[in-house]
């Protein structure tokens, strides 16, 4: 499900996915916007990104998972709560056939906002 055209907006990005995936991505988008109300929504690396001073988080969808990219500090801070998911240095994979952990995602985004606000991002 990787998008190969250059998207100009998050709405355009979402439009390329099947309806059931769009619904999950919209709930993720809404959660991010509520947790980071001052963040600017943009496209970076051809995926949705939310930034204030620097990028807070990114997300994308693939065949079997939704990728959430809260940078390495977001992963480090919540590594214990992310233990049931596939995690790398700066990314977590949420299985596409399971509910998104929106409460945890909101906590991670708020952490990244705080980091960005006090200027301690990586």
What global pTM score does this model have? Answer: 0.91
- Identify whether 117 is part of a domain: no
Residues 33, 49: Cα–Cα separation, whole Å: 11
Kindly report the CATH number assigned to the domain that includes residue 97: 3.90.1150.200
- Identify whether 24 is part of a domain: yes
pLDDT of residue 121: 47
Backbone angles phi, psi at 75, to 5 degrees: -70, -50
Domain count, the chain: 1
From 32, 35, 113, 111, select the one nearest 76 (Cα to Cα): 111
Question: How does pLDDT run along the chain (122 residues), one tens digit per residue?
Answer: 566 678 899 999 999 999 999 999 999 999 999 999 999 999 999 999 999 999 999 999 999 999 999 999 999 999 999 999 999 999 999 999 999 999 999 999 999 999 998 865 45
pLDDT of residue 113: 96
pLDDT of residue 6: 87
Q: How far is CA 35 from CA 3, 7, 31, 104, 107, in A?
A: 26, 24, 6, 11, 8
pLDDT of residue 44: 93
pLDDT of residue 120: 52
- Identify whether 88 is part of a domain: yes
* Domain with 61 in it: 10-111
pLDDT of residue 5: 73
């Amino acid at each position: 499900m990787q998008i190969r055209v250059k998207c100009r907006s998050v709405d355009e990005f979402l439009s390329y996915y099947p309806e059931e995936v769009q619904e999950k991505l919209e709930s993720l988008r809404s959660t991010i916007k509520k947790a980071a109300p001052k963040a600017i929504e943009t496209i970076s690396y051809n995926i949705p990104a939310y930034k204030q001073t620097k990028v807070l988080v990114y997300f994308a969808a693939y065949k079997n998972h939704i990728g959430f990219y809260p940078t390495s500090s977001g992963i480090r801070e919540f590594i214990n709560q992310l233990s049931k998911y596939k995690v790398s240095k700066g990314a977590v994979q949420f299985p596409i056939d399971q509910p998104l952990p929106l409460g945890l995602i909101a906590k991670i985004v708020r952490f990244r906002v705080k980091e960005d606000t006090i200027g301690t991002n990586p």
